[in-house]
């Protein structure tokens, strides 16, 4: 593949991802926060339909975070972005966040997916919202923690005290991925 084709593909990808920026900029901070909250509830409802036991896990957790992502892959490059909110169940404090994803490898397509993180410990929650996360990798097996029975069935442990559910429009994803994904505070909404 020539460098011109690759450069054009990356340019088209960037334009597509940036297409939503003007609409978001026009909305007020309160409107944007309300939209993120509405999307968060939609993501949780999607999870509860796919895995009813997840409702108890979210409720019992120190906190949770929900994200909705839109990504594209054109030939050898891909990426995506999204937004979400982390909620401390103890204090009820919300932290609005963003996510950015970069992928390499052959492919073509558009993908929308949602992610729910469940934090069992205050330190894991605080590290996530205050330091952000960058990670890569994937897991394909559904996991349970053994001590909570089936409450985390369908989730993957991404680090001690943190579980992740990933869903597509068709339901719970069989493959959990975090390839080149960065989660960080949204300074414009906090």
Q: In Å, how far are 17, 43, 123, 143 from 40, measured between CA atoms?
A: 20, 5, 22, 23
CA–CA distance, 59 with 61 (Å, rounded to integer)? 6
| Percentage, residues of the chain above pLDDT 90 | 39
**Confidence class of residue 100 from pLDDT cuts 50, 70 and 90?**
confident
| pLDDT one-digit tens code per residue, 105-138 | 656 666 778 899 999 999 999 999 998 766 555 4
Is this model's pTM higher than 0.95 or not? no
| pLDDT one-digit tens code per residue, 170-185 | 655 544 454 678 889 9
Query: Is a pLDDT exceeding 80 seen at residue 89?
Result: yes
CA 186 to chain centre: 14
Rg (CA), the chain: 17
**8 or 133: which leads in pLDDT:** 133
CA–CA distance, 82 with 98 (Å, rounded to integer)? 6
End-to-end alpha carbon distance in the chain: 43
Phi, psi of 151 (to 5 degrees): -65, -25
CA–CA distance, 48 with 177 (Å, rounded to integer)? 20
Assess contact for 118 and 56: CB atoms under 8 A.
Answer: no
Angle in degrees, CA 76, 78, 130, rounded to 5: 140
**pLDDT average, residue stretch 77-94:** 90
Assess contact for 115 and 168: CB atoms under 8 A.
Answer: no
Residue 108: the pLDDT is 62
DSSP, collapsed to helix, strand or coil, labels residue 146 as: coil
Short-list 101, 38, 93, CA closest to 62: 93
């Amino acid at each position: 593949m020539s460098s011109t084709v690759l450069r054009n593909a990356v340019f088209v990808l960037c334009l597509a991802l940036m297409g939503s920026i003007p609409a978001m900029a026009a909305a007020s901070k309160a409107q944007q926060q309300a939209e993120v909250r509405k999307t968060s509830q939609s993501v949780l409802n999607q999870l509860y339909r796919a895995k009813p036991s997840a409702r108890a896990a979210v409720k019992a957790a120190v906190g949770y975070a929900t994200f909705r992502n839109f990504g594209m892959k054109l030939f050898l490059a891909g990426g995506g972005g999204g937004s979400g909110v982390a909620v401390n169940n103890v204090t009820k404090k919300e932290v609005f966040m963003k996510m950015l994803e970069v992928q390499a490898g052959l492919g073509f397509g558009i993908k929308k997916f949602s992610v729910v993180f469940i934090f069992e410990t205050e330190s894991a929650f605080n590290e996530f919202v205050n330091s952000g996360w960058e990670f890569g990798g994937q897991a394909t097996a559904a996991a349970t923690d053994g001590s909570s029975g089936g409450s985390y069935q369908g989730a993957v442990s991404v680090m001690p005290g943190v579980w992740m559910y990933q869903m597509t429009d068709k339901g719970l994803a069989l493959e959990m991925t975090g390839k080149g994904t960065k989660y960080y505070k949204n300074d414009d909404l906090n």
